[in-house]
Structure 1
Amino acid sequence: MTDADGDGRSSWSRAFGVLSAIGPPVTVATALLFYFGWARADAQAAQMGLNVSLFGYAVQDYLLISINALFLPLVCILALSVAWLALDRLLRRRIEEDRGRARIIRAAGIAALLSGLLVGVSLVLAVVEPARTSLFTPYLMALGVLVATWCIHLRRMGRDGKRPALSTEQRAVETTLVLSIVTLLLFWGTADYAQALGRRLALNYEQGVQFMPRAEVYSLKPLSIGSGAVTEVKMGSGDTTLYRYDGLRLLVLSGGRFFFLHDGWTPRDGSVIVLPDDNSVRIEFKR
């Protein structure tokens, strides 16, 4: 899929040129990282019964949060891309040398048909069973579109014995449309994956809350924490009265506020305690 035009540029390079003209790559990449980080944090907060805005995350926080949401999808996509390029190079060489051209054309036609069916079935599943198929359906659709386009291209090349009989503009438009569809599908799938990862992280707190840093909060005034798992101990009397709160576990410090869970916290009936990061309270952390 790298047929060169008269000026030495391929249809793929022309398509990337069009996409690059829409927005600088660095700006687009930053926006995508921000969105995927927000999607993961928003799903995690919602699973905990909170709104993500309460954490006061900055742009750089969302960018860092997005890394673990993108690592696995990017590794899989790049690995498949390497394998695909190697297979494409092999089949092109066989077609150019006229070795098994008829078999390649026939196999490419069958593969294109099956890929179209895969896209159709995936689309139906996304509509009928979105909750069960959201993690893999967009990726299957993107794979089906790419394979179908690639197989059609191989059939054209095999029948003509040269580059497909399409004009430069037709190839550029076709490639741009395919890239746009695949990009949107990958965006969809990665956003769903980031949200699923956020929900899973929130659920993992239920099993891992006992491993979070233990905190003791001291305050000159009663804080009236409503969780039964948090104990209040009154220390001293009169002007020297001090209130200590035990049973807290540090979740995160963000936006000038401490977020605590308590021992035995669960997403269903647990509470998230939010305290300001100022001189009104003193916090001691223990293992």
Structure 2
Amino acid sequence: MSPGPVAGRVPRSRTPAAPAPAPTEPEGPGVAPALRALGLVGPPVTVATGLLFYFGWARSAQQAEAMGLDESVFAMSTRDYVLRSVDSLYVPVLAGSAVVLAGLVVHAAVLRRVAVPAGRPAVRQVARRLAAAAWLVLPLLAALAVWPLPDARWLVVPLGIGAGVVVTEYALRLLELLDRLDGHAATRPAWVASLRGVVVGVLVTAALFWEVTEFAGVVGRGRADEVERSVGSLPAAVVYSKDDLHLEWATLHAQRIGDEGSAYRFRYSGAHLLQHSGGTWFLLPDGWHPGTRPLVVLPESSSVRLEFVGPPR
């Protein structure tokens, strides 16, 4: 028999030692604070909606101006502007998403390099050079690359400015991360970094709106040229009216089809549908060119009926 426990003595229990914490990669160079600072300028959804609305308005204004018209004539709503901007932004959104993904890959590689003390001096040297020159070099390179191409010049310059600001801010935050890892205390108040983040957000947002303005101008003028070249490819419109609308231009064919008791006594053909907005139909006569034939504006009414026929396939 094995001896029992001695009276009055509590058996000691052995507790397993806590495992050593696994090494982790260093925290990124202030990405979360930068995003929070950018959020002070406006939530991402609000900024994106504002960009869509602004692009739709700028594109419509440029198209109307190229057609010799004024954008306010069309009385479009916020929904109209947003919807008209979507089809033109597929390529820019895809390109921007690809750039962001590439930046995340580079960011992960930088963090792996920073995690090793031997790799920090090289990262610090590159970050210092970027912080000192990226804000100026990137816009200059963008401008010089497309300066011989006037049509593309102002499409690239805002992107260069925005990229320069973002790369400079990233380099500065990377230097702050390296200082913390090397045990150097921060010498600047926290509000300086927050204010810098807000300024960066304002500059990037302004560059985006500038870029949207230039891109909307290119798209709007292109749409106006397309309409002018191919008015006949727009849906043909036939207008039936109770009263005489006095649409008697050479390319608009008026025909009386009923007597005084008819619901619709006049028929007009030879026009094409440009768009419908603000409760109004906008028609272009055959052979329309800016400054030669007017835009036909027909408010929705029970005394006017329209029929549309698409171009043959």
- Structure 1 length normalisation: TM-score? 0.79
- The one-letter code of the counterpart of 2:279 is G
2:254 paired residue number: 232
1:56 maps to 75
Question: Structure 1 residues 84 and 99, CA, compared in 2 at 3 Å: closer, same or farther?
Answer: farther
Distance change (3 Å), C-alpha of 1:273 and 1:233: same
Query: How far apart, CA to CA, are the structure 2 residues paired with 1:18 and 1:115?
Result: 19
Larger Rg: 2
Distance 2:261 2:76 in 1: 38
d(CA) in 2 for partners of 1:118, 1:174? 20
Structure 1 CA distance, aligned partners of 2:154 and 2:248? 38
Match of 1:196 among 214, 218, 234: 218
**1:43 lines up with 2:62 in the alignment:** yes
The answer on 1:218 being equivalent to 2:240 is yes
Q: How far apart in 2 are the matches of 1:174 and 1:21?
A: 12
Quick check: 215-224 or 39-48, which moved more? 215-224
Tell me if structure 2 keeps the 8 A contact 1:251–1:261: yes
Q: 1:121 to 1:228 in 2, by over 3 A?
A: farther
Identity among equivalent pairs (%): 33
Structure 2: how far apart are the matches of 1:248 and 1:242?
18
Alpha carbons of structure 1 residues 17 and 110: separation in structure 2 relative to 1, 3 Å? closer
Structure 2 unmatched ranges of 5 or more: 1-24
Q: Which residue of 2 aligns with 1:76?
A: 95
User: Deviation at 1:104?
Assistant: 3.8
Tell me if 1:181 matches 2:203: yes
Displacement of 1:108 after TM fit?
Answer: 4.0
RMSD of equivalent CA atoms: 3.7
TM-score of the aligned structures, taking structure 2 as reference length: 0.73
Corresponding residue of 2:271: 248
Equivalent residue, structure 1, for 2:32: 13
Q: Contact 1:47–1:199 (CA<8 Å) still a contact in 2? A: yes
- What residue number does 2:10 align with? none
Deviation at 1:270, TM superposition (A): 4.2
Q: Counterparts of 2:35 and 2:144 in 1: how far apart (Å)?
A: 30
Structure 2 residue 174 is the aligned partner of structure 1 residue 151: no
**What secondary structure, in the 3-state scheme, does the structure 2 residue paired with 1:136 have?**
helix
What's the secondary structure of 1:222's corresponding residue?
A: coil
Deviates more, 1:185-194 or 1:81-90: 185-194
Q: What is the distance in 2 between the residues matched to 1:152 and 1:117?
A: 16
CA distance in 2, matches of 1:18, 1:156: 17
Unaligned runs of 5+ in 1: none
Do the aligned residues in 1 keep the contact of 2:59 with 2:216 (CA within 8 Å)? yes
1:215–1:248 Cα contact (<8 Å) kept: yes
| Structure 1 contact 40–69 (Cα < 8 Å) conserved | no
Which structure dedicates a bigger proportion of its chain to helix?
A: 1
Per-residue deviation, 1:190: 1.5
| Inter-partner Cα distance in structure 1 for 2:123 and 2:284 | 60
1:135 to 134, 155, 159: 155
Q: Contact between 1:203 and 1:267, CA under 8 Å: does it hold in 2?
A: no
Tell me if 1:66 matches 2:85: yes
- Paired positions, count: 282
Match of 2:230 among 186, 204, 208: 208
Q: CA separation in 2, counterparts of 1:211 and 1:14?
A: 53
